[in-house]
Amino acid sequence: MDFSHKAIEKKWQKIWKEKEVYKTTYNHDKKAYVLDMFPYPSGSGLHVGHVKGYTATDIFARFRRMQGYDVLHPIGWDAFGLPAEQYALSTGNDPREFTLKNIDTFRTQLQKMGFGYDFNKEVNTAHPGFYKTTQWIFQQLYKQGLAELRNVEVNWSQDLGTVLANDEVEIKDGKMVSERGGYPVVKKTMKQWVLKITTYAEKLLSGLDALDWPQSVKELQKNWIGKSEGVEIFFHTENGIELKVFTTRPDTIYGATYLVLAPEHPTVQSITTKEHLAEVEAYIEQAKQKTEIDRKDESKTKTGIFTGAYAVNPISKTKIPVWIADYVLNDYGSGAIMAVPAHDPRDWDFATKFNLEIKFVLEAKDQSKAFVGETKHINSDILNGLDRKQAIEKIIEKIEVEKLGTKKINYKLRDWLFSRQRFYGEPFPIYYTEDGNIGLIDLEDLPVTLPQTSYIKPSGTGESPLANVQEWVNLTVDGKNVKRETNTMPQSAGSSWYYLAYILTDQPNQLIDLESNEAKERFAKWMPVDLYIGGQEHAVGHLLYARFWNHVLYDLNLLNTPEPFQKLYNQGMILGPDGRKMSKSWGNVISPDDVLQSHGADALRLYEMFMGPLDASLPWSYDGLDAALKWLNRAFRLVNKTTFSTTNNHELDFIYNDVVKKVTTMVEELKLNTAISQLMVLVNAFYKYEPSTIYQPYIEGFIKMLSLFAPHVAEEMWAMLDKQTVLVQESWPSFDQSKLIEKTITIAFQVNGKLRGTKEVEIDLDNQTLIEFAKADENVAKFIENKIIVKEVVIPNKIVNIVVK
């Protein structure tokens, strides 16, 4: 008979909880910190995409427990966020209540899936017990000079009442709008908190080398950090204003025929001539309506405007025009470039559009387009005839001797904009005195908690809704009236260190002091994270910010390792049955709750792991789900009410030990679909024999391996064998290398090259015996009867081919 998934899931989840089988242990020398990218608890609950990544980490955590590792496998909630803020502003309700309700829904769903999380380690970034430490870390960043107030140009949404990150803004109908809701967005200069992540650019770059991460993610981070070694050259306008230009190709300076400044460059107003001022100001306003992503888009037509100013090329001494164009960004390099259109496609497009001089300084046969290859220098005075390396060395020497510039390393990475104009975020642990000085809230007064308020509404002033709560904003410190910061931290603050919070937690949201000796001992035990699984959409933002904070805490001697995540794995998406990304608007979203009802947690887990490689994005298939349940029932029937042999007849020695070896390696390498295939091979082998002849330890080993993927039905099968333990506390099955020597082989019998039969025989039989077996095969005999045998070909241990006419 088949199993009842609803009955056994309820039964075993209750037993696991009562026995605390997933509690973090401290009993072994070996450890495994297995981590999911924690979810934002939205109102819609889990989707089947979450299940894919969470099942993979659950499998690996179970595997390590059974291998005798101490395992830390926690879960928590990235609970601050814009959706909760919008809910609060639209309803007036407190977002904390709304968020806690969503967390309860998510937690229940995770438990119903049978995931082996240690819920004692649960954290919630919106809980004061958690963000007390977030605030403390911010204070350390401030004390180290890594946090400062700065006037910066931001993406401002009046309707949302907050600053938006670049990836939260898109262009529609030529205008900037918020990705969420499509609200208008404008560029605005505001005083904001900024974290100086650029200070750690080199450490973040070099730290990637030792990490076991997908190469694609490493490349994304390297490109985002964007290290460039070059020279900053000093150009001067006719009226003496200095323009510093960074370039990685100073050897092409003889071909620099104009300069381009970013519209935001601080010298634009002072160098622009009166007759061009109106056009320049109009262009600057136009540039403000574009996102940074839009300005970087190489496929877009180049735009720009002449300032009326000229500068002198410090090497060639020629006078060249100064333009502004929005494809130049003010916060990379110096916000100014020397344009060499003959050898840069971007500059070529600009020069040809505006009819600017193009001068080739590298030998090129085809001068109808920009030449970017390696060749000798021409039209370059002292550099003529030199190759790139020689020319760069010589021109740098000239620049430095004549003090026309200086060597410099630049990074594309920009400092982290850390302010949000929201109610629902971590309050900053600082205050402002009446004379504008900044003060830190005393440690004993942390956390600075969000106020309890009956109605949350926008400030209307560009400030956070917290500005409305005057009794919270105004406080007294040392007898002086001061005001709190009304901005809050971004959602990424909590996610930048939450992996450490799990280590510090023994009861939900009750964290021990990060500075304590006990914390250091725990970090020494558990850090770094051994396996981190999540989507590639976090390849830059979250992973870069978390690495930054970890490096800072390491430099403060609070952590034992500079890098937080040793191995990273990006799981693929589960697409809708129609092959498109799941979306409510497409109507192709699959709810795990529905699948739990119809097929059960084990079938869902098994199907998602078997549907293809873990990193592949594949469409949902109900046929595949049905097949997973069908196979689980087949495995269950193998054990149900069956008595197995206590003596080994050795007939299954090879296949069993081979499967154990392969599954062990495959789980280690996260090749989970092929590991399941091996379990299917083993079940097929079992079914070839009478149950009473199957060696029971082999059945037990199979159930242990199955428990990684389908824990509920495996526990039920284990209990049928009169076992009193739970599987995750059992030892992982071992294999006997001596049993992995094949004693039999399947030989193919052919007549005139066509397959006519097969037979399992002993390995290394002599050719004549194999020919006799072939001729004795009934089907082969039919095809050689009344025929003349021309030739008998034997490939040992593979094929017998009888050629007839």
Q: Which residues are annotated as a binding site for ATP?
A: 584
The tokens for 531 are 């396996």
Pairing relation of β-strands 258-261 and 175-178? unpaired
Q: Can you read off the two tokens belonging to residue 576?
A: 């809708």
Question: What SS3 class is residue 578?
Answer: coil
* DSSP sequence for 61-101: HHHHHHTT-EEE---EE----HHHHHHHHHH---HHHHHHH
SS3 state at 605: helix
Q: What's the CA gap between 755 and 738, in Å, rounded? A: 33
Structure token digits, residue 685 = 């082998």
On the 0-12 / 13-18 / 19+ scale of CB atoms within 10 A, 598 is middle
**What sign results for the dihedral spanned by CA atoms 360, 311, 382, 246?**
negative
Cβ-contact 446, 465 below 8 angstroms? no
Helices (H), 2-151: 5-19, 48-66, 82-91, 95-112, 128-143
**Tokens standing for 747?**
């030989």
| CA nearest to 33, candidates 560, 678, 727 | 560
Given its phi and psi angles, is residue 240 left (phi above 0), alpha (psi -120 to 50 degrees) or beta? left
Spell out the residues 6+ positions from residue 168 whose beta carbon is closer than 8 angstroms to its own. Answer: 155, 178, 179, 180
- Collapse the DSSP code of 359 into the 3-class scheme (helix H, G, I; strand E, B; otherwise coil) and give the result: coil
The closest alpha carbon to 732, from 790, 679, 634, 663, belongs to 663
- Give, in order, the Cα–Cα distances in Å from 653 to each of 67, 660, 718, 798: 22, 11, 21, 22
Long-range contacts of residues 303-308, Cβ cutoff 8 Å, at least 24 apart: 304/260, 304/350, 304/354, 305/276, 305/279, 305/280, 306/276, 306/354, 307/261, 307/268, 307/271, 307/272, 307/273, 307/276, 307/280, 308/272, 308/273, 308/274, 308/275, 308/276
For residue 358, give both structure tokens.
């193009």
Between CA 473 and CA 451 the distance in angstroms is 10
- Contact (CB, 8 A) for 344 and 258: no
Alpha-carbon distance of 340 to 346, in angstroms, equals 9
Cα separation, 156 vs 71, whole angstroms:
44
- For 490, what's the count of Cα atoms within 13 Å in the CB-facing half-sphere? 19
Q: Tell me the three state secondary structure of residue 776.
A: helix
User: What SS3 class is residue 462?
Assistant: coil
Radius of gyration of the chain (CA): 34
* Alpha-carbon dihedral angle through residues 353, 354, 359, 364, given to the nearest 10 degrees: 0
Q: Contact at 8 Å (CB) between 117 and 34?
A: no
Strand pairing category for 505-507 and 510-511: antiparallel
- Tell whether omega for the bond before 528 is within 30 degrees of 0, i.e. cis: yes
Q: Are strands 227-237 and 405-411 parallel, antiparallel or unpaired?
A: antiparallel
**DSSP string over 217-235:** HHHHHHHHH-EEEEEEEEE
The residues near 516 (Cβ < 8 Å, ≥ 6 apart) are none
Provide the CB-side half-sphere exposure for 792 (13 A, CA).
Answer: 14
Count CA atoms closer than 13 A to 179's CA, side-chain side: 11
Structure tokens at 587: 């109507």
Phi, psi of 767 (to 5 degrees): -60, -40
Q: Which residues contact 63 (CB under 8 A, 6 or more apart)?
A: 667, 668, 708, 732
